Chains A and B, each alone.
Chain A
Amino acid sequence: MLKTPLYQTHVDAGARMVDFAGWSMPVMYTSIIDEHNWTRNHIGMFDVSHMGRLEIVGETAAESLEYLCTRDMVDLDPGHTRYCLMCNQQGGILDDLMVSRLADDKFYVVCNAGNRTKIIAHIENYLKPGATMTDLTLQTAMLAMQGPQAVELISQLLPGPLSQLARRCVYVDQLMGIEFIAFRGGYTGEDGYEVVFPANVATLAWQQLHSLNIDGNSVVKPIGLGARDTLRLEAALPLYGHELSENIDPLTAGLDFAVSFEHDFIGKETLLAIKAAGPAKTRVGLKLQTRRAARQGFGIFNEDRKVGEITSGGFSPTLNTSIAMGYIDTSVAKIGETVQVEIGGEKHDAQIVKLPFYRRK
């Protein structure tokens, strides 16, 4: 079992630790619902050091990544980040990733913890001569600061470029001689940052950030993976192993914005064919009348005909009801229509709603 540099900090804070993708991670500190609501109103601090961090360097780094990713990378300006997918030849999703260009010949890739080994092997297969990859995951830590007060807090701490950083941008700087990389964005539906530090200063950084306040009020709380999941579900952000897998292509997943057909990439031919025919299934959001969780694998029905399956679902603290995402036949995927979800042998009405379920003000 792998441990992040903050493992002991979490245990000391009384976190409940669980195995997640081979890492021992905090699922909660006090209460998933309280942590969820805190992030929606203040600032949640997450240890996301388990995610894979890869540096790709060299004069062919951009063109190597351009062929690997569903979006253009050659024209990505230094200091910018793009969300994209890596697919197999059949268009199946190998992973979803954030790719940032730190310099003309230097890229930083963040991938899912559970896919790190697979993605490293995949990238190595397609790296052109002149580009090299380094896995920095174990020598660094990554923290996410998410919530409506995050930008205000960081502006107080580091006035200057970091507070001005635009969304989907990346910034590299030093603080007391320690290099850090900051990304504006996140995985909760809130504004905020994700910051990478060397592993040996992770605990110090965590403690310092935790102790920050606004007008004397404590605003930062550590948040576990449990609330991270309910937050991303409300924001309708797909999760690998649920909405995304090698059996799902980006168009079916509704991630058209992350696919550019202007360049050559692995899986392009299949995706062009799917685009021309129209995906047979579509990712939809469901709002149920009950508080019962519609969990992964539960059937979705339209007048007794099975039309799909749930990929993620649970009680939404913000909407105070059960919500879910899943794939259903495109022919019945109409906003406002009612379908049924089978939970424990009972069918429950669910309305197909526009995603995301939650959008910050």
Chain B
Amino acid sequence: MPVPQDRKYLKTHEWFKPEGDLVVVGITDHAAQELTDITFVQMPKVGTKISAGQSFGEVESVKATSEIYSGIDGEVVEINEELSSNPGLINSDAFNAGWIIKVRPSDTSQLEKLLSPGDYENFI
């Protein structure tokens, strides 16, 4: 299944989609399928500063716990509250309804350094 073309990716399977002056962040469908049924998402609080290359949360499945990494610096302005009661949204719709956080980036040029959709597809 082709990955959405309107965003950038990390090798650790996160996606970063520009939306106005914000960036929406989630994990890819490939990652969600690998993790299997997601049972819990540990999200940062609104206002948290996150940095490129650093973990900002965790995704837990029945099998395992995985860190979620950021590809950009910025401040968390919104989290997907829906995931607290229904983390399976990531399994069913990783690229849309299963988004995790929205970030106000401190440097939008950082997005350009991330993997293109084609590079990410080649990687997986």
A residues near B (Cβ < 8 Å) are 27-28, 31-34, 226, 230, 290-293, 295, 314-315, 322, 344
Contacts and interface: CB of A to CB of B under 8 A. Distances in A.
Contact of B62 (A290, A292, A314, A344): A314
Given A28-B36, A226-B36, A314-B39, 5 more contacts: A32-B61, A33-B62, A291-B87, A292-B42, A322-B40
A290 B65 CA distance: 15
Interface residues of B, number: 14
B78 interface: no
Given A291-B87, A344-B58, A32 B37 contact: yes
10 contacts: A31-B37, A226-B36, A226-B62, A230-B62, A290-B40, A291-B40, A293-B39, A315-B39, A344-B42, A344-B58
B118 to A, nearest CB: 27
Given A344-B42, A344-B58, A293 B37 contact: no
A292 B40 contact: yes
Contacts of A314: 39, 62
A119 to B, nearest CB: 28
B60 A293 contact: yes
Interface in B73-98: 87-88, 91
Interface of B: 36-37, 39-40, 42, 58, 60-63, 65, 87-88, 91
A27 B39 contact: no
Contact of A292 (B36, B37, B60, B88): B60
Contact of A32 (B42, B63, B87): B63
B83 to A, nearest CB: 10
Q: Which of B36, B88, B91 neighbours the largest number of chain A CB atoms within 10 Å of its CB?
A: B36
Contacts of B91: 31
Contacts of A27: 63
B36 A32 contact: yes
Contacts of A33: 37, 39, 62, 88
Q: Which of B40, B63, B87 neighbours the largest number of chain A CB atoms within 10 Å of its CB?
A: B63
A65 B36 CA distance: 42
Contacts of B42: 292, 344
A226 B63 contact: yes
A48 B63 CA distance: 19
Contacts of B61: 32
A224 to B, nearest CB: 10
Nearest to B36: A32
Query: Which 7 pairs between the two chains have the least Cβ-Cβ distance?
Result: A315-B39, A291-B40, A33-B37, A32-B62, A292-B40, A32-B37, A291-B39
Q: Which of B37, B42, B60, B62 neighbours the largest number of chain A CB atoms within 10 Å of its CB?
A: B62
Contacts of A226: 36, 62-63
